[in-house]
Amino acid sequence: MSQKKILFIASWFPDRITHSNGDFIQRHARTAALLHQVVVLFVKFDPAMKSGMEVEENDDGNYHEILIYFGHRRGFFHALRKVWRYWNLYRWGYDYIRKKHFEPDLVHANITYPIGMFALYLNLRYRKPYVISEHWSAYLPVNSHKLSYLRRMIDRKVVRRSSRMLPVTRNLKDSLLRLKYQAEYTVIPNVVEVESFTPAMSLPDNHTFIHLSTLHDPTKNITGMLLAVKKLSEKRKDFHLQIIGLENVEGYREHARELGIYDKLVSVHEEIDHGQVPERLRESMCLLLFSNFESLPCIIIEALACGIPVISSDVGGIREYLTDKEGILVPRQDIGKLVEAMEYMLDNRQKYESEHLREFALENFSPEAVAARLDSVYRSISGDD
């Protein structure tokens, strides 16, 4: 079958300012390029630029990125002028792609708001069909009350005109439908780089739990994990929790010191490069998450690909991909149950077979598996499935 020409646009995408923001979207785009021609178009305001625009292009066979940066001086109507420039640069980028690369067969938008409005424009102006991948936990019941009436009205219009909505979990699909975002839905999960995330040759000879995230406490509940470590330490001290991430690192260190658990039982480290994550996972016994809300954290599927079991709070769509063969689910904010799960894992890690965890990840989240799902969607829309 002939390759489709797919234009990827995104509300979030890795760039020179926020290097890892939306990296899961980039992985989806690269995955689509296994079977189709893909060009990514992303526009970013750079506060370091006083004026003008800069275009950065990256090419890798079927996969091409066009990142447009712009800046302008602050003054009256700064926010309005910023939005206007975003819009015009996306239009400029679309024309540039049509001239230099291809006429898109399909637009693949990522994160409904705000980029979905440009997908809607391309549909109305050029009759381009579009699909939308959705990852954002803002649409979950715990957060959706924060969405303004205007935002919901815009989203509903964008979603209703789409050819397909592609949430990463059934839970997120149900949340979107609860908000009356009517469309045809197909669940397509995140993708893991299986060539990088591979199991260790043997189980690590340690009792190290690992947590990697933004460390944003209202979401990730780092303080809850620290309290669980404190409570478990009253029964045993043959374990260590390694926390790695971006926000408030020194604050968590200080909190752990106040609890009397820092250094011996807990260490907190600055964010590491994504290329270092596989080795840190392989050196650990278990991934630990205690989030207040989530959609489908990429770190879970990366841990499974490394043959590492997972302890997680039972939130979002995590239970769709985490049974008792892959790890342990605990109720949200239940520190007692988290302590019980950690203790069980310390005594029963050998029950979680690395080969099974790896195969489960390959079957559900490998580039080949996800590419096949995307291909099926693209071809069903174009009528040649």
pLDDT of amino acid 345: 97
Question: How does residue 72 score in pLDDT terms, banded at 50, 70 and 90?
Answer: confident
Spatial CB neighbours of 140, under 8 Å, sequence gap ≥ 6: 171, 172, 175, 293, 295, 316
Position 226 pLDDT exceeds 90? yes
Question: How does residue 27 score in pLDDT terms, banded at 50, 70 and 90?
Answer: very high
Question: How does residue 80 score in pLDDT terms, banded at 50, 70 and 90?
Answer: confident
What percent of the chain shows pLDDT beyond 90?
Answer: 91
| Cα separation, 382 vs 1, whole angstroms | 12
| Cα separation, 33 vs 94, whole angstroms | 19
Integer angstrom CA distances of residue 159 from 111, 164, 179, 348: 11, 8, 11, 46
| Cα separation, 89 vs 82, whole angstroms | 11
Mean predicted confidence (pLDDT) in 130-142? 96
pLDDT of amino acid 79: 80
Classified by CATH at the fold level, domain 208-364 comes out as Rossmann fold (3.40.50)
| Cα separation, 243 vs 222, whole angstroms | 9
pLDDT of amino acid 81: 85
What's the full length of the chain, in residues? 385
DSSP secondary structure string, 209-258?
EEEEE---HHHH-HHHHHHHHHHHHTT----EEEEEESS-HHHHHHHHHH
pLDDT in tens, 366-381: 999 999 999 999 999 9
Select from 354, 359, 239 the least CA-distant residue to 288. 239
pLDDT of amino acid 1: 75
Q: Domain 5-191+366-382, CATH 3.50.50.60 — does that match?
A: no
Query: H helices of the chain, where?
Result: 23-32, 78-100, 116-126, 149-161, 170-178, 217-220, 222-233, 249-259, 277-282, 298-305, 335-348, 354-365, 367-382
| Cα separation, 35 vs 371, whole angstroms | 7
Task: Answer for the pair 237, 265: CB distance below 8 angstroms, yes or no.
Answer: yes
Domain boundaries, the chain: 5-191+366-382, 208-364
Mean predicted confidence (pLDDT) in 285-289? 97
Cross-strand pairs, 316: none
Position 251 pLDDT exceeds 70? yes
Do 5-191+366-382 and 208-364 come out as alike in CATH topology? yes
Integer angstrom CA distances of residue 218 from 233, 236, 242, 304, 369: 24, 28, 19, 25, 33
Position 75 pLDDT exceeds 70? no
